Amino acid sequence: MGRLLYELGRVDEKRRIANERGSNKMGKSSFSWAWELDGTQEERERGITMDIALQTLVTTHRVITILDAPGHKDFIPNMISGASQADSALLVVDAAVGEFEAGFERGGQTREHLLLVRSLGVGQVIVAVNKLDQVEWSKARYEEICAVLKPFLLQSGFHPSKTRFVPVAAMEGVNLARAEPVTSPLYQWYKGPTLVDLLDALDPPIRDINTPLRFPISNVFKGQTSGISVSGRVCGGIIVAGERLRIIPGDESATVKAIDSDGESLPWAGAGSNVNVTLTGVDPISLNIGSVLCRPSHLIPLTSTFTARIIVFDIQVPITAGASIELFHHSRDVPASISRLISVLDRSNGSIIKTKPRVLTKNMSAEVEISLRNSTYAGPASRALPIPLEPFSVNKEMGRILIRRVGETIGAGVVTELLT
């Protein structure tokens, strides 16, 4: 992404040279472009993305907010937090022999990332086949990777018309923002659009600004002036500077002092916008990642037990009633359990195939009851704190969930009914 931002003029020459010198000094010269988005000392020392980085780029017809998400399996929770704020996905795969295979084999991150973003409602994906310069610009290698990914994308729920592939060599800047010259080795077999052309052609989603305001907090930090700032995505309605909002869960309220996007101050922001909001008149201890800002007249409900319609992924150990899981909803992850297996559903039409199944196995669709667990394990009398959640039928973005177990994503689905 660093090289793409440079090609589009978002990174100046002075910044590029500074990143190059800094990475060389650490003995990680090949990571100089990544430094533009990997801003923390630990990320730069380890050479991996660990947290979400946000940048904006402008194409001919689009202003695009880039959420650079970590790919390493240790930071999947952060990746989920980023994916839950996305409209489209840009998947970068390594064309080097052995590297693509390692990412795509069972348990590989390429598979998991595609399943995660589709489960979180992302319907468009661009696959950038990178590092083709390391395989001598082989057309056969590019087509081999495309042939492997296309059926998996279809199986994961991506429609072929919403899936595009593009060959690139990001380190060299090849086919990112400008078409290659006739003398280029890539031009000998590829004369299609560049990566920026595909980004520019993405379909903008429909924004529902008439629903009640829902603003899940993905990060909390000290503002540049007075007040405390939070970042996130508006998942319904509009947020307006100057208004007083409730923070759920809790009884606290806060005043919106300012709204900004990429350094630009805004009077308001609508559904789908990724913004920073500066709040005043609130104790910072009341602001937590996963809390939701909403209007006092339309509070988001709290729940600790609900039913959900889920799809079970390619798992080895079946899911049974009482199974302990990690529940992911936007930037929040909480301990929970699948308290009841209600029914197995037909994946094509949602009709009930079997009621009260004993187990759920891979690729099944099912309706289940999920109950939150108390993370302190303070005894049977302790009760889990409820979280803000809405049925998918009320708000699609606030009704999507992911289920993980022992570091593996085992399923995803939508909330159907809030019980308690």
Mean pLDDT of 344-361: 90
Predicted confidence (pLDDT) per residue in 370-396, tens digit? 999 986 554 444 578 899 999 999 999
pLDDT for res 321: 95
Predicted confidence (pLDDT) per residue in 17-63, tens digit? 776 676 666 665 555 555 555 555 555 555 555 556 677 888 999 88
Other beta carbons within 10 Å of 355: 10
37-41, 333-337, 406-410: least confidently modelled range: 37-41
| More reliable by pLDDT, 347 or 331 | 331
pLDDT for res 378: 46
Radius of gyration of the chain (CA): 22
pLDDT for res 381: 44
Helix ranges, 36-90 (H): 41-46, 76-83
Contacts of 140 (CB under 8 A, 6+ apart): none
Name the token pair of 2. 């660093």
Contacts of 110 (CB under 8 A, 6+ apart): 91, 93, 100, 103, 104
Predicted confidence (pLDDT) per residue in 49-106, tens digit? 555 667 788 899 988 888 777 666 666 777 777 788 888 999 989 999 898 998 888 6
DSSP string, 184-219: STGGGT--S--HHHHHHTPPPPPP--SSPP-EEEEE
Predicted confidence (pLDDT) per residue in 139-193, tens digit? 999 999 999 999 999 988 899 999 999 999 888 888 988 888 888 899 999 999 9
Task: Compute the distance between CA of residue 264 and CA of residue 339 in angstroms, rounded to an integer.
Answer: 47
Distance of CA 84 to the CA centre of its chain: 4
Predicted model pTM: 0.79
- The share of the chain scoring above pLDDT 90, in percent, equals 55
pLDDT of 359 higher than 90: yes
pLDDT for res 102: 87
Average pLDDT, the chain: 86
pLDDT for res 4: 76
pLDDT of 278 higher than 60: yes
Task: Compute the distance between CA of residue 101 and CA of residue 108 in angstroms, rounded to an integer.
Answer: 8
Name the DSSP letter for residue 337: E
pLDDT of 238 higher than 80: yes
Mean pLDDT of 323-352: 92
Name the token pair of 319. 């899911």
pLDDT of 242 higher than 50: yes
β-strand partners of 125: 89, 163
pLDDT for res 287: 93
Q: Contact at 8 Å (CB) between 380 and 357? A: no
pLDDT of 110 higher than 80: yes
